[in-house]
Structure 1
Amino acid sequence: MISSFLISIGSFLVLLSIVVIVHEYGHYKTGRLLGIGVEKFAFGFGPALYKWKRDGIEYRINVVPLGGYVKFIGDEPDQPVPDELRSVAFNLAPIYKRMLTVFAGPAMNMVLAFLLFCVIFLVGFPAPAAIIGNVSDDSPAQKAGLRPGDRITSINGEPIRFWHELSLRIADSPDQPLVLGVRRADRPLEIPLTPEKITGPDMLFQFETERGSIGVSPVGMRPLMDVSDANSPAYQAGLRTGDLILTVNGKPLMFLEELPERLAESGELTLGVARGEPNILQDNPQLTDTIKIPPAPAGAWTPADLGLRSGELTIYDVSADGPAKAVGLKRGDRLIGLDGGPIESWEHFTKVVRANPGKPLTLTLIRAGEELTVSVTPKKVETLDMMGRKETYGQVGIQRMIVFNPTVEETERYWNPVKIVMRGAQESWIWATRIVKGIYLIIIGKVPTSSLGGPIAIARMAGESAQMGIIQFLMFMAIISFNLAIINLVPVPIFDGGHLLLFSIEKITGKPLGEKAMALALRIGIAVIVALFLLIFYNDFRWVFFKIKELLGT
């Protein structure tokens, strides 16, 4: 925990230093090129750790490494400018020079983000391939016939290679008929479907919006088995509950949904099995046993004939202090019914439990071949959702028996300079439009202000991205750089956008705002900034409070 904290702090300081210094350098360099005098160029705030003068400019490295600033001659209107400096004073420069100097800060952040994206796609960005790992029950994908293991190669004829391309295309197409190009076991297919319209977090920015969904994810389940009937052919052959089938007749078996088709092979079956404690994060389970299954008495084996069931609804672990433990649920129990109806999947079970905190539920299960019924009341849990809002849900304290398939990652890399520039520009446009849309939705009240994060949220995400690797950290830096650029262009006094607005008014009216109007605008700007800082710090500390509460179990 301490190492993660230090990584987060270090990553945050590196990220903030680079994006802010690049921003301020844009102001500084443009101002100097346009003949505007510079008094100071500082990294950080507070007292100087080290400073020097060059060409009449004081350069400073300050004690608090959180950003930086540029001080131009004459950038404070209420302070008189000596006659000998009037020719280089910021406030006396032509309007176009002032506007270019102010705009250069956000522009440099956009340039930084674009260059970072170009570097990322030159070095190579690892991303999940557009291979389906799981298909949700009763989803458009399931109804259309998509299966785990299908690779999506195109949408309406446009090539698709990576999962984020698939996600964004689907998200932008609610209620719009699409034709998916699919490769299934080296067979090309075309599957028509229509994404359903849902309300949820945006695929990139995590603001709540209406978007399309087909009910797929890149993470799938491996064939972890429940073999609870001691008289079944599978049990007699040596298979046991918790076994993970890795191969059938020497060929890899990656997805649970492939099992019926693979068992249909004629003759004796040889199953390669990994046996031991299930590990949900297991990337490369090792073969530990080989099980021989004799030929089926007639036709071909099915999972049901063999006595094989998915381990998805078999309990692997029971929390010591949870409701499940209190009513006697045990490891190995297989869940089959909930409130008088069948449990269709783990997704169905957790959805009902989460929706009923504090309400008794009737649970039917199989234990050692016998059917039992118990009443369990989900514990009420409070936390924060992805939007920063308080969320209350039910929890019974059980863990299922499952091993997830690792997502197939491919590297997005280009050698052609034109392609690199085009891809960098495309990624820049994607993030710029998403950020602008997010700000707009916050302003009109369609996105909760609880979704805004401050320094703590940025430090946490910077640390997480740094631990994932340098490429992921550079990607996060590019996104933050774009955020800084666009937020600074919001037309609020104090922000660069506010200055540009005032300069535009001066250009239209032929004179700057009067002192009273300028003072009022300044007070409004300060009030907005203070309110914004209070809000984001409140959200940050609210998140910290909830995490401490979760750790303490209170």
Structure 2
Amino acid sequence: MTIIWFLILLGPLVFLHELGHFLTAKAFNVKVTAFSLGFGPSLWKRKWGETEYRLSLVPLGGYVSMIGEDPNEPISEEDKKRTLASLSLGKKILVVAAGPIVNFIVPIFLFFSYFITVDKVLPAQMGTVLPGMPAYVAGMRSGDKVVSVDGTKVQSFDQFRRIVSDSPGEKLNLKVERPGKGIISLTVTPASSVGRNAVGLMTRIGKAGVLLNGTRPSIGLIDTSSAAYKAGFRTGDLITGIEAAGKFQPLRFWPEYEAFLAKAPAGEMKVFVIRASGTLDELTGLSQGALEMISIKGLDDLKGIEKGELFVSDTGDGPAKRWGIMPGDRLWSIRPMKSGEKPGQCLPSKDSIQSMSEFEEVLARNVQSRLCVSWVSPSNGGSCFHSAAIKLDIISNVDQLGTKQKRYDLGLNVWRKMDMPAEVPVKSRFTYALKESVITTWELSKGMVMGIWYMITGSLDRENVGSVVMIAQMAKMAAEQGFFFFIQIMALISLNFALLNLLPIPVLDGGHILLFIVEAIMRRPLSLNVRAAVTWAGLGFILLLMVFGFKNDLTRVFRDKGQNTTKRNTHTGSEAAAENLSPIPEGALGCIKPADVQGK
């Protein structure tokens, strides 16, 4: 079945690629002598008109033969006018580039077949606007809905996110619909940050500090002597609603809780909470437990409650646990250690971070650096600060294709539960599908060009180079995932074909274009010896690349069978000693005095 899915995936792409060459050549009256799917001996062939159509043994590509390609072939005077060489430079380039161009167009149709089935999307409504980030500074708030950016209508949150990501440091003029206030104008300049592009590579992106998901009102308490703690509230509780003055107010997001506090009447209240069950939900970070009601005398009994997303819910086997960060602790600050800075100089910052996204942003920017992480443990008074110079663990594993994957891990989860707004119907599904298909193809193409460049420069592991074995594995995996996943993989392979064929390597389409341009500059054709030399050099390079990819594929296959496990590369006490650090302790450094915190 793997071979069958491989042929179903690859066959149409090869056929359409060669068809692009064939039709363009015919349009310019070039005589095409053969059109073949596959290489090697013919399994089937038939001649229609002046062209012989073949189905060949090796299904790893195809070719279009044109008269005049063989310098030893006798050509009549009439046919000399129908060779590729007889065309102008522009037409020759079009004939050769037509195959890759078709491979760029095919994904648009494939993605269109998916997007046309989408009838609902998530609106461009802000679930969370992070304090201090560009959107917040510009005046955007949770609940705002983006209507347009620079005059372009915005239909979905994905569309808005994509615009922001592509615009680091650029001013964006927004029209925003705010509940109760109508349409307002804002100007947001996304901050330059790092993140993953369409193909998963780290690159420079814009960030406005907005999330589709809104933060649910899960809470945390650091002061065990606070009024809220004495009233019965505990870290991890999820507030679902408050009854005051005989009226029940349901609460879905944290801003709704803050808004309630701002206008809440005086007097007794009933607060309904879902207790944390002690088990962690992989998707939300918070599992639902029993619903309880807590009676309080007034707003004063809510003092001491903080947003739960900065409170640790669970620690695994990573650096967080080894350095003494415990469930219930509140993350306070994080920064990269400066060059030459000693561990003893790692002290909590004066100002606390305000969101987990802010914490994660610093992590993403400094995954290979040693980080000064500070936290507060629950205590009477809530002033037991800790601090440690921590380096993230490296988690290594292999994916379904046997490719090595690597990520950096601090080893903790927090009491952060997210929710999102309801989906809205797509307006003009045809227009939406066409636009999204073109944009998706463009974004993936840009990402793949970057990936090729990263491999050339060594920034990306060259083990990612694969051969037909990897394509076959991808075809089988995609088929198992369903039709829409299969056509998305087909689109990715098609884009790969287009880009690889345009590389300026002799024997590839890009190599032919390069030679055409060289000949145009020289104003004469290259000699047969020079053509033969560069052709053999290009062929040798391609063969070496194929062998390298095949070797990588075999390594992946055997690794997938024998080493499909996750490996954590930890930083040990001996390493810490070598870096003039204290060995990793059983607990964290002791409580740091608040005076020391305020002074830094």
**Given the two structures, how large is their TM-score scaled by the length of structure 2?**
0.68
CA distance in 2, matches of 1:100, 1:275: 64
Secondary structure at the counterpart of residue 553 of structure 1: strand
Matched with 1:332 is 328
Give a deviation string over 1:239-278, Cα, whole Å, max 9, x none.
4432223445566533323321134443644536365334
Secondary structure at the counterpart of residue 309 of structure 2: helix
From 489, 495, 507, the counterpart of 2:502: 489
Matched with 1:423 is 435
Give the residue type in structure 2 aligned to 1:258. Answer: E
The percent of aligned pairs where both chains have the same amino acid is: 27
Give the residue type in structure 1 aligned to 2:44. Answer: W
How is 1:71-90 mapped onto 2 (pairs within 5 angstroms)? 72=65, 77=70, 80-81=72-73
Matched with 2:342 is none
Matched with 2:283 is 281
CA distance in 2, matches of 1:371, 1:218: 34
Matched with 1:402 is 416
Between 1:343-352 and 1:282-291, the stretch displaced more is 282-291
From 306, 311, 319, the counterpart of 1:309: 306
CA distance in 2, matches of 1:464, 1:188: 48
CA contact (8 A) 2:224 2:380 kept: no
Give a deviation string over 1:23-77, Cα, whole Å, max 9, x none.
133335555775744546235x6788xx3233374643646x5x42125265762
Matched with 1:552 is 567
CA distance in 1, matches of 2:497, 2:485: 18
Matched with 1:366 is 378
Change (3 A) 1:234 1:211: closer
Change (3 A) 1:278 1:553: closer
Structure 2 residue 67 is matched with structure 1 residue 70: no
Change (3 A) 1:330 1:474: same
From 457, 466, 478, the counterpart of 1:455: 466
Root mean square deviation, CA, Å: 5.2
Matched with 1:116 is 110
From 231, 238, 257, the counterpart of 1:244: 238
Matched with 2:46 is 54
CA drift of 1:372 comes to 4.4
CA contact (8 A) 1:134 1:219 kept: yes
CA contact (8 A) 2:451 2:460 kept: no
CA drift of 1:472 comes to 5.4
CA contact (8 A) 2:225 2:381 kept: no
CA contact (8 A) 1:197 1:212 kept: yes
Matched with 1:3 is none
**Given the two structures, how large is their TM-score scaled by the length of structure 1?**
0.73
Secondary structure at the counterpart of residue 184 of structure 2: strand
CA distance in 2, matches of 1:470, 1:223: 39
| Aligned residues between the structures | 530
Matched with 2:157 is 163
Change (3 A) 1:463 1:147: farther
From 388, 407, 414, the counterpart of 2:428: 414
CA distance in 2, matches of 1:327, 1:514: 70
Give the residue type in structure 1 aligned to 2:418. Answer: F
Secondary structure at the counterpart of residue 55 of structure 1: strand
Change (3 A) 1:189 1:435: same
Give the residue type in structure 2 aligned to 1:55. Answer: K
CA distance in 2, matches of 1:223, 1:544: 46
Between 1:537-546 and 1:488-497, the stretch displaced more is 537-546
Change (3 A) 1:137 1:535: farther
Change (3 A) 1:115 1:225: same
CA contact (8 A) 1:174 1:197 kept: yes
Secondary structure at the counterpart of residue 494 of structure 1: coil
Structure 2, unpaired ranges of 5+: 335-346, 397-402, 570-600
From 378, 381, 384, the counterpart of 2:393: 381
CA contact (8 A) 1:41 1:71 kept: yes
CA distance in 2, matches of 1:286, 1:349: 25
Secondary structure at the counterpart of residue 378 of structure 1: strand
Change (3 A) 1:47 1:520: closer
Give the residue type in structure 2 aligned to 1:253. Answer: L
CA contact (8 A) 1:389 1:451 kept: no
Matched with 2:446 is 434
